[in-house]
Amino acid sequence: MMKRYLSILLMMFCFSAQAELTIEITQGIASSIPISVVPFEFDGTLTDDVDDIVRNDLERSGHFSLLEPDDMLSQPQHEEDIYFTDWRLLKQDFVVIGTIKQLENKQYQIRYQLFDVFNEQELLTQTLKGNATQLRDIAHRISDAIYEQLTGIRGAFSSKIAYVTTNSQRTKFNLSISDSDGAREKVVLSSKYSIFSPAWSPDGKRLAYVMLEDSGSKVYVQDIATGKKQLVSAHKGINSAPSFSPDGNKLALVLSKDGNPEIYTVDLKTRHWTRVTNHYAIDTEPNWMPDGKHIIFTSGRTGNPQIYRVNITSGYIERLTFEGSYNARARLAQDGRFLVLVHQERKGAPFHIASLDLVRGLLQTLTSDTELDESPSVSPNGVMVMYAAKYNKRSILAAVSVAGDVKFLVPSKNGDVREPAWGPYLN
């Protein structure tokens, strides 16, 4: 397949001093949809450029190629000003126009319309309201709606990501959350201790994570809005790898208090612990399946790490990966049809992110440009995988589509970024 390299550096956070991440698209799909998002009408200046955010969202998805506003023959803001022949001439399939009005009480009203150029027909229109700080949320919601209208897949631009940043001396660690484009970074927790394995609660309100203190690893759950953190697990030995149950009431995690790492579940209200695995090899990296009845995990029981699925009630264990010398840290995508995981083809080969089609049994390596790829995390719509990797000797975040056809890098301006966790839908 023809791969098209865009190599566009998009600076996305002109107005946010805290933001550290940038997006660099390295590969989009060959058959991307040509679309124009015309600058929205507004009399005055705004802190966030709504149509610019929409253009960046759609471009980053890899499914669209966006026409630069400077290349437009005209910039209509109202339906009656659209000359469809202009857009046909520019080989555009779709056009988005919009207007922003300032209302009383510092509120803004944003109205946009999506048109099919060929049929000269309106496909979608919405009117949204919010204050200045909500303009970015509104922009992402517009992107979500356009994406869903044109691809049939729910958009995930409104979702958040969590990740850990660290300085090069590894003496300071920040657990942060941001928009899925890296904007509006907010530090949730700062520590001199290493923080890893952040996991979102299904409602997006809490984060579970591991803090590696001098006495060993401990698992905490923190409320994002209040910042209040709760110690969940501090047993003797390893306390690690938390994963929320689909109902948000339990955590699956790893304890080694019995002598070696085993998968446990704990009810967060009753603190009732249940042991799930029992094997002398390493069992770790549990991830709860959407049915709530199974957990996938990594085990070294055949001598090297492979992915397994356990039925929580019966304890029945099934091996899922057979190809490669190292398969670990699996996450489910698209309602459990795919696994994405860290894959090493053979000893000494590079670590990359791979997908495994559980129905067809097909393993596909998705990444190639980055090194030491790890910590894959899937977007809530199951389309993209964000992961951590080494690139130019630094730890950065990068993303690749589950289909392998879209890629982008998310380098930070300073320090290392690790351990991404893509949050759930928030509405």
Partner 1 sequence: MELNKLFAASLLSLAMVGCASSGGTTDEAATTDAAVEESQTQGVPGSRDLDVVTEEQAAMAANSLLEQTTVYFGYDRSEIRPEFKDVLNAHAEYLVANPQARAVLEGHCDERGTVEYNLALGERRANTVKRYLIVQGANPSQIESVSFGEERPAMIGSDESVWSKNRRTEIKYQ
Binding site for partner 1 (CB under 8 A): 168, 170, 194, 196-197, 212, 215-217, 237-238, 240-241, 254, 256, 259-261, 282, 284-285, 298, 300, 304-305, 326, 328-329, 342, 346-349, 351, 371-372, 374-375, 390, 393, 418-419
Least separation, in Å, of the C-beta of 36 and partner 1? 43
- Using DSSP's 3-state secondary structure scheme, residue 13 falls into coil
Whether the CB-CB separation of 425 and 162 falls below 8 Å is answered with no
C-alpha span between 233 and 218 (Å, rounded): 6
CB of 152 to partner 1, least distance (A): 34
Nearer to partner 1, 200 or 326 (CB): 326
Q: How far apart are CA 160 and CA 182, in angstroms?
A: 9
Upper half-sphere CA count for residue 375 (Cβ side, 13 Å): 24
CB of 101 to partner 1, least distance (A): 49
Which residue's CB is nearer to partner 1, number 100 or number 253? 253
Q: Cβ atoms within 10 A of the Cβ of 60, count?
A: 26
Nearer to partner 1, 65 or 299 (CB): 299
Choice between 16 and 194, CB closer to partner 1: 194
Cβ-based nearer residue to partner 1, 35 or 241? 241
Whichever of 215 and 314 has its CB closer to partner 1, that residue is 215
Least distance in angstroms from the C-beta of 261 to partner 1: 4
Of 65 and 217, which CB lies nearer to partner 1 in the complex structure? 217
- Chain centroid offset of residue 302 CA: 31
For partner 1, the closer CB: 112 or 391: 391
> How near is the Cβ of 144 to partner 1 at its closest, in Å?
31
Contact 337, 320 (CB under 8 A): no
Beta bridge partners, 97, equal 113
Q: Report the nearest approach of partner 1 to the CB of residue 194 (Å).
A: 4
At 271, list the tokens.
Answer: 């603190």
* CB of residue 366 to partner 1, shortest distance in Å: 16
Q: State the nearest-atom distance from the C-beta of 240 to partner 1, in Å.
A: 6
Q: Measured from the CB of residue 419, what is the shortest distance to partner 1 in angstroms?
A: 7
Nearer to partner 1, 158 or 284 (CB): 284
Cα 11 from Cα 294, distance rounded (Å): 42
Determine the length of the chain: 427
Tokens of 189: 């927790």
Between CA 140 and CA 53 the distance in angstroms is: 7
Q: Which is nearer to partner 1, 131 or 168 (CB)?
A: 168
183, 194 Cβ separation under 8 angstroms:
no
Q: What amino acid is encoded at 350 in this protein? A: P
- For residue 70, give the H/E element and its range: none
DSSP string, 228-252: -EEEEE--SS-EEEEEE-TTSSEEE
Contact assessment for residue 53 and residue 39, using Cβ atoms and an 8 Å cutoff: no
The 3-state DSSP class for residue 145 equals helix
Q: How many CB atoms lie within 10 A of CB 107?
A: 13
Q: How far is the CB of 254 from partner 1 (least distance, A)?
A: 7
3-class DSSP state for residue 302? coil
Cβ proximity of 232 and 219 under 8 Å: yes
The nearest distance, CB 345 to partner 1, in angstroms, is: 11
User: Rounded to 5 degrees, what are φ and ψ at 378?
Assistant: -95, 140
Task: State the Rg of the chain over Cα.
Answer: 23
Comparison of 128 and 366: residue with beta carbon closer to partner 1: 366
